[in-house]
Amino acid sequence: MVDIYDMLVKAGAIKHGKFKLTSGKISDFYVDIKEAVTDPKILTIITEQFSQLVGKEFSCIVGMELGAVPLIVALSLKLDIPYVIVRKEKREHGITDRFVGKLKEGHVLVVDDVITTGKSVAETVQLLKEIKVSVDRVIAVVDRNEGGNELLSNMNIKMDSLVKLRIDQHVGT
C-alpha cells in the first residue's frame, strides 16, 4: 500500500512557512490536498484507500466545497454512490440552497481533505443533522491531530483518516 504521507511530501503538498488555517490558527506548515489531487495518480490512490476504508454501506457521500469536491466525486465514481456538495454559504443568486445534489435516505458519509480543529466538518455534520440526515462517520485524507477527532467524537461521529500527523514531523523542517 502506498504511504499517503510520503506521497504528499514528494508532491510538494506539505508546505512550510507561516500559514493561517481555516480554524484561524497560525501554523508552520500547510497541507495542500487541493493541489495534490489535481494529479490523477494521487487522486486515484487516495480514492482507492478511502474505498478500502469505508466500503459501500452509505446512501450518499457529502463534502464541503472546495477541498472535498474532487475527493467526493472520485469516491462516488469508485463506489457508485451519489454525492452532495455543501456550499460554505447560502448563495444570493441562482439556486440558493447550500446543498448541490440530492441527499438520499439512509446514512451519509462526510468526506474532508484536512481536519485540524474539526470546526468546519462539524458545521457540515450539524447542517445535515438539522435536516434529519443520519451521519455518524467522517473520513479525511489528513488529520492534523489538533482537536478534530475529539470534537467529532463528542458529537458521536467516528472519524478516520489516511494520515495522522504528529507535530514533531514538522518541527524544524
Cell numbers placing 151: 470534537
Domain 40-165: which CATH class? alpha beta
- In this prediction, residues 94-103 reach a mean pLDDT of 76
- In this prediction, residues 141-159 reach a mean pLDDT of 95
Q: Is the pLDDT of residue 172 over 50?
A: no
pTM for this entry? 0.90
CA distance 101 to 83: 7
Quickly list H helices, the chain: 4-10, 33-36, 40-54, 69-79, 119-130, 148-154
Q: How far is CA 141 from CA 30, 92, 96, 133, in A?
A: 13, 31, 29, 23
Domain assignments of the chain as residue spans, ordered by start = 40-165
Phi and psi at 49, nearest 5°, equal -70, -40
CA distance 99 to 84: 6
Residue-averaged pLDDT of the chain = 89
CA distance 35 to 140: 15
Residue 167's pLDDT band, with cuts at 50, 70 and 90, is: low
Residue 117's pLDDT band, with cuts at 50, 70 and 90, is: very high
Q: Is the pLDDT of residue 114 over 80?
A: yes
Determine how many CB atoms are found less than 10 A away from the CB of residue 123: 13
- In this prediction, residues 163-167 reach a mean pLDDT of 82
Q: Peptide bond before 127: cis, by omega within 30 degrees of 0?
A: no
Residue 77's pLDDT band, with cuts at 50, 70 and 90, is: very high
